[in-house]
Structure 1
Amino acid sequence: MGRELAEPGLHACQIVARRADDVQSDRNVGLPVRQLEIPRIARTDADEGQGVFGAGLAGKGKPKDASHRKTLPGEEDGAPGKQRGVRAFQGRLLRAGGVLNWVQSHRDIRAGRTRWSPIGPGDGFSGPTFFSLCFPIIGDKPCDVKRAKQPRPHCEAPTNGVKCSHGRRVPQHRSASDRDHDRKGLNMQASSRFLIKEPATRKRPGWAIVWIMLVAASNAKAADEQNGMVLIPAGRWVVGTSDSERTELAKRFDCHPSWLGDDLSRRESALAAFWIDRSPVTNAQYLAFIEATGHPRPDWWGRWGGVFPIEYADHPVVGVSGLDAVAYAKWAGKRLPTAEQWEAAVGGPNRSTFAWGDDWPGPVRLPRRDRIWWELPGTEPVGAGNRGRAASGVQDFAGQVLEWVSNTVPHHGVQFQLMKGASWFHEDPVNFRTASGWYAYEGWRSAFTGFRCALAGDQKPPPARQSKPKQAISAASAASQLKGTSPAGPIALAAAGGASRHLSIRCPALGQESVALSAPETILWNGNGVLTWQKTPTMTWTERTSARAAYRMQFDELRVDAEFIARDALVEQRFTAVNLTDKPGSFRTSSCFNLQGHPMFYDCEQLRTFALDSRGVFVPARRLSRGGDCVRWVTGPTASDLGEDLRWAVLAVASRDGRQVIATGRSGAGTGFSVATNALFTCLHADSSIEVPARGQATTRQAFWFLEGGLDDVAKRWRGDLELDQGR
């Protein structure tokens, strides 16, 4: 922290602050600190991350008893000073992402302790644009400080005949040495650590004031910030990750390297200057777009009368697709940033794992809720400072929304679009990396998908329009409504009917939400895809009740009879394949068991998803390989990942609070057992093949469990419900 400041003759600093109401938590100190934004020409070139201001006071006044004050992080003991009643003040100017933060301390020499305390609202920082911390000193003696435990922003700049707040008259004359100290103090670029010290032996008549002034007007428009956008200069930026980096990151974060397959390939990218939104687009801004264009509203608004809760106006908008984001950007006269631009703005030139360095969680503060609802996202107002803040000034990229960018790739016959960042729903540190990427279908929406806009650097950012609803529910009332819904009863099925193969399943013991089943999503007959997610077969529903549903599906060489039965904590699926040919055939189905509708079981990060290996042991899915170009889409581990001679296919997902589990599995007759997941939908696929004799039939069975408990409970039900031979 620098030299001990309990010496006579150390002169105080005058601080002029830009904002009075911006308090943030600085991880480096462990305290809430006052944010002082410093003009670019005066910012400290501090590789060590901090500059130091020092200010000391010495006098005859008896210091106040500080025993009532709570000991704060960063306190340290020190040897008592030689002088009785000496109180020293000391400050830190911490740099965090190009922003300087002031924290001060005072040292009671007689008590022998240093106590850190922030400059906060109680210190007078409210209202005016400019504030001063000014302490006149007569020779070795300061003015009486008994009335203030900390420097307070009361004293005006010294003028002849004007009294300071302590009642001392301050003369106007100042020595050349004093002025020289001022010049040295203002030259912040010359040194990242400095103290102002007047030689103790120096005597001068009358008063003399030494101060350092950092000036930034709160209403001044910086050249690199306009209308909520930040200018990123042209340059060459390192983006993406290499194979070797992914291997090392996988070891650190306990996942398979292929989970990082949606990262950009590591390269140096030359970028022209560009503007990017400081924060993601808010609900109020998106509402203005909807009112102007008639664009569809996010689904979750529908629960609250077509608008968001009133407190959510300045929260990032969620529930938007990549196509929605493109439409908004075009209307606003902007565009989406590229992934390369996003990484340059967030990661900066000094590349590290996270925007703030290599440590987790750094300054990020994530919400922790016992219960989550999609209708009430866990976002917070933009600009709060604890959901990611980059050196460029860009913020709210870590713990707010998963952000659509403009990069796209063809996949599954449709367009997939990349997303960057991590949302309020995310927990896995690997996904908060600057390089982390997520590909999904461009029309996909979730309660944590949002975006921010960009613009070419030679264009002028337009002002952002916004609108707020005239009437809207409060967030507290919305939460009360959600908490008050507690359905009861047995598991219930709801078949879609018509030509749809979809069912919804509600288990009241696990909450009001439903999960979905597309059964089957695909059928392979003799290796050929006779049914895919894009093909609609000829089918007829024969029964649709809450306890049982059934349909018949017809193909040229094959007929399929499907049956779904709900009973205690279980739904059983049966497919009977009828071979219409004179040759035996191979029949393979894959049903999509989709948990996206239930936020307590939705697991896009695969932190709570497990697969049963050939030993009968549940293995975390994140440790298994992912194949394909879009690794979070439908893909699964290789056969070797789960062991040889796999005779079952079982997947389980634990609830977010660890109290319940949903699982699915197949075993028994069949071959080619395999599992796959769609991480973005939390789709569980447990597949197998059976042989169907000529002009004959064969049946496959799959179970879906909804259980109180954990993985051990799944293992017991799996063996019993599927009549597994215990010796196998």
Structure 2
Amino acid sequence: MSDACCMPGRGSLPPDDVGAATGRGVDTGRLHKVDQRPVAAGTFVMGDAHGDGLRADGELPLHVVELSGFVIDETAVTTTDFAAFVDATGYRTSAERAGTSAVFGALVADDSTVVGRAPTAPWWVEVRGADWAHPEGPGSDIATRADHPVVHVSFVDAQAYCDWAGRSLPTEAQWEYAARGGLHGARFPWGDELVDASGVRRCAIYAPDLWGAPFPAEQGIGVGVIPTMPVRSFAPNGFGLWQTVGNVWEWCADRYDPRYYRHSPRQDPTGPDRGASRVLRGGSYLCDDSYCSRYRVAARSHNTVESSSGNTGFRTVARSR
């Protein structure tokens, strides 16, 4: 994992085994209920135009990308959407099969459920019973999160949902182009400044007023705090997409290689042919300028295909015909 502030990793399936784990090829029709936005074919400069990113993340060099038109979800897939998939298929996520998933330690109400900590980021704890339906572990639920993004989904889980719904995960280039909303070279979907003219923040990132301390707020903050926000919070970008930065990280289809931009094709790039981890985009509610500024549209992260955490979800695109 490139930076443990984002999410800790779990052991990966070999890349060639991902299809077998997800049941690839199953298409049961128009089951996906998330509202869609068409994105017209276009050309943009992909990458970090401001020099904000870490060199190791591979946000450079800037390079021109030409994309064919596509259709993308307006929002991240919600807990309601994912529950419909689980109800229809009986699917068990990576976290459910493993019996644990990664939770921000300040959210854990019962220390007896903690089975481990990330060695380089002790604010990340592995919690027994944490999964998409129990985001902070046993005793938590999604009853009040119907319109929140689903979390604790691995790449394998997101791909399984796509296969059931006849969808695909966006390529990294599709994701960045859509997230920019037509503002080429801007840091954020709305411009270059984190806050608007009235000083109001435009995305869900780490909030010291909520956590009660600067990042990482390792001490508990009490039972019942919900770190994610409804998927239609704040305002949509120029393409009508909501919260492409902040709230939750979103899986992309591409394998990750920090050197890929050096030789990425100009037309409809789909990522490197090999690699054990997959790209994540958009940052999450745990991003903070003091530690991790990956809530920019150019920012890149990655994780192994079976990894899950309380700040990782996904959105989909229409499958190419």
Query: How does the TM-score come out when normalised to structure 2?
Result: 0.61
- Structure 1 residues 264 and 323: CA distance shift in structure 2, 3 A: farther
- Counterpart position of 1:361: 195
CA contact (8 A) 2:171 2:254 kept: yes
CA deviation digits over 1:582-641, x for unaligned, max 9? xxxxxxxxxxxxxxxxxxxxxxxxxxxxxxxxxxxxxxxxxxxxxxxxxxxxxxxxxxxx
What is the aligned partner in structure 2 of residue 407 from structure 1? Answer: 254
Partners of 1:374 and 1:330 lie apart in 2 by: 36
Structure 2 matches for 1:499-514, cutoff 5 A?
none
Look up the SS of the partner of 2:168 in the other structure.
coil
| Cross-structure match for 1:318 | 151
For 1:281 and 1:331, the matched residues in 2 are separated by 14
**1:258 lines up with 2:55 in the alignment:** yes
User: What SS is found at the alignment partner of 1:269?
Assistant: strand
Alignment-derived partner of residue 394 in structure 1 = 241
What SS does structure 2 have at the residue aligned with 1:431?
coil
Higher strand share: 1
Partner of 1:287: 83
* Distance in structure 2 (CA, Å) of the matches to 1:372 and 1:426: 18
2: CA distance between counterparts of 1:341 and 1:294? 30
Q: Choose the corresponding residue for 1:441, options 276, 282, 304.
A: 304
> SS in structure 2 opposite 1:432?
coil
Matches within 5 A, 1:418-429: 418-428=279-289
1:228 maps to a residue whose letter is D
1:551-606 alpha-carbon deviations (Å, 9 max, x no partner):
xxxxxxxxxxxxxxxxxxxxxxxxxxxxxxxxxxxxxxxxxxxxxxxxxxxxxxxx
Equivalent residue number for residue 161 of structure 2: 328
State the shift of 1:377 in Å: 4.6
The answer to whether the Cα contact below 8 Å between 1:237 and 1:344 also exists between their aligned partners in 2 is yes
SS in 1 for 2:293: helix
Q: Classify the secondary structure of the residue corresponding to 1:291.
A: helix
Contact kept, 8 Å, 1:277 with 1:394, in 2: the verdict is: yes
* 8 A contact 1:264–1:437 mirrored in 2: no
What letter corresponds to residue 282 of structure 1 in structure 2?
T
- Contact between 2:255 and 2:275, CA under 8 Å: does it hold in 1? no
Deviation at 1:418, TM superposition (A): 0.5
Q: 1:349 to 1:382 in 2, by over 3 A?
A: closer
Higher relative contact order (Cα pairs below 8 Å, separated by 6+ residues): 2
> What SS does the aligned partner of 2:167 have?
coil
Cross-structure match for 1:385: 234
What does 1:538-577 correspond to in 2, within 5 Å?
none
| Alpha-carbon separation, structure 2, partners of 1:295 and 1:265 | 40
Evaluate the alpha carbon distance shift between residue 327 and residue 398 of structure 1 in structure 2; reply closer, same or farther with a 3 A threshold: same
Rounded Cα–Cα distance in structure 2 between residues aligned with 1:373 and 1:449: 22
**What is aligned with 2:39?**
232
How far the C-alpha of 1:399 sits from its partner, in A, is 2.3
- Count residues with an aligned counterpart: 218
| Cα gap change, 1:377 to 1:437, in 2 (>3 Å) | farther
- Cα pair distance change 1:372/1:271, threshold 3 Å: farther
Contact 1:404 1:418 (C-alpha < 8 Å) held by counterparts? yes
> Which residue pairs with 2:63 in the alignment?
267
Q: Report the counterpart of residue 295 of structure 2 in structure 1.
A: 432
Q: One-letter code of the match for 2:279?
A: L
Cα shift readout 1:667-692 (whole Å, capped 9, x = no counterpart): xxxxxxxxxxxxxxxxxxxxxxxxxx
Change (3 A) 1:391 1:383: same
Three-state SS of the structure 2 residue aligned to 1:422 is coil
Provide the secondary structure at the position in 1 that maps to 2:173.
Answer: helix
Structure 1 unaligned residues grouped into runs of 5+? 1-225, 251-256, 460-728
Cα distance in 2, alignment partners of residues 379 and 229 from structure 1:
22
The aligned amino acid for 1:286 is F
- 1:453 maps to 316
1:374 and 1:342 map into 2 onto residues whose CA distance is: 34
Paired with 2:307 and 2:66, the residues of 1 have a C-alpha distance of 31
Q: Deviations over 1:79-108 (max 9, x none)?
A: xxxxxxxxxxxxxxxxxxxxxxxxxxxxxx
> Helix, strand or coil for the counterpart of 1:270?
strand
Worse-matched range after superposition: 417-426 or 372-381: 372-381
Taking the aligned partners of 2:34 and 2:250, their CA distance within structure 1 comes to 20
CA 277–331 in structure 1, closer or farther in 2 if over 3 Å, else same: same
Counterpart secondary structure, 1:405: strand
Cα separation, 1, equivalents of 2:149 and 2:223: 14
Gap change, CA 1:237 and 1:441, over 3 Å in 2: same
Change (3 A) 1:308 1:359: same
Give the distance between the partners of 1:374 and 1:265, measured in 2 at CA. 44
1:143-193 CA deviation, whole Å, 9 max, x = no partner? xxxxxxxxxxxxxxxxxxxxxxxxxxxxxxxxxxxxxxxxxxxxxxxxxxx
SS in 2 for 1:439: strand
Structure 2 unaligned regions, length at least 5: 1-32, 96-129, 213-219, 259-273
Q: For residue 241 of structure 1, what is the amino acid of its counterpart?
A: D
CA separation of 1:318 and 1:262: change in aligned 2, threshold 3 A: farther
Check conservation: 2:287, 2:293, Cα contact below 8 A.
Answer: no
Whether the 8 Å contact between 2:151 and 2:309 is mirrored in structure 1 is yes
Q: Which residue of 2 aligns with 1:502?
A: none
Contact 1:316–1:379 (Cα < 8 Å) also in 2: yes
Tell me the alpha carbon deviations over residues 399-432 of structure 1, each in whole angstroms, 9 at most, x when there is no partner. Answer: 2101100110479x96110000011121237312
Aligned residue for 2:252, secondary structure, equals strand
The answer as to whether partners of 1:283 and 1:308 remain within 8 angstroms in 2 is no
Cα deviations across residues 322-346 of structure 1 (Å, max 9, x unaligned)? 1111111111110000111111111
Residue 235 of structure 1, CA deviation: 1.2
Alignment partners' CA distance in 1, 2:250 and 2:34: 20
Query: How many angstroms apart in 1 are the aligned matches of 2:69 and 2:35?
Result: 16
Work out whether residues 262 and 439 of structure 1, in 8 Å CA contact, stay in contact via their aligned partners in 2: no
3-state SS of paired residue (1:312): coil
Identity between Structure 1 and Structure 2 (%): 29
Q: Which letter does structure 2 place at the counterpart of 1:240?
A: G
* Matching of residue 341 in structure 1 with residue 136 in structure 2: no
Verify the 8 A CA contact 2:166 2:319 in the aligned structure 1: no
Pairwise CA distance, 1:347:
0.7
- C-alpha spacing 1:271/1:414, structure 2 compared with 1 (3 Å): closer
CA distance in 2: counterparts of 1:373 and 1:229, whole angstroms: 37
Instruction: Assess if the C-alpha contact under 8 Å between 1:377 and 1:447 holds in 2.
Output: no
Deviation for aligned residue 1:456: 4.9
CA distance change for structure 1 residues 264 and 418 in 2, over 3 Å: closer, same or farther? farther
Structure number with greater Rg is 1
**How large is the RMSD of aligned CA atoms in angstroms?**
2.9
Q: Aligned letter for 2:251?
A: W
**3-state SS, counterpart of residue 276 of structure 2:** strand
**Pairwise CA distance, 1:266:** 1.8
Matches of 2:222 and 2:256 in 1, distance apart?
31
Distance (whole Å) between structure 2 residues aligned to residue 293 and residue 316 of structure 1: 20
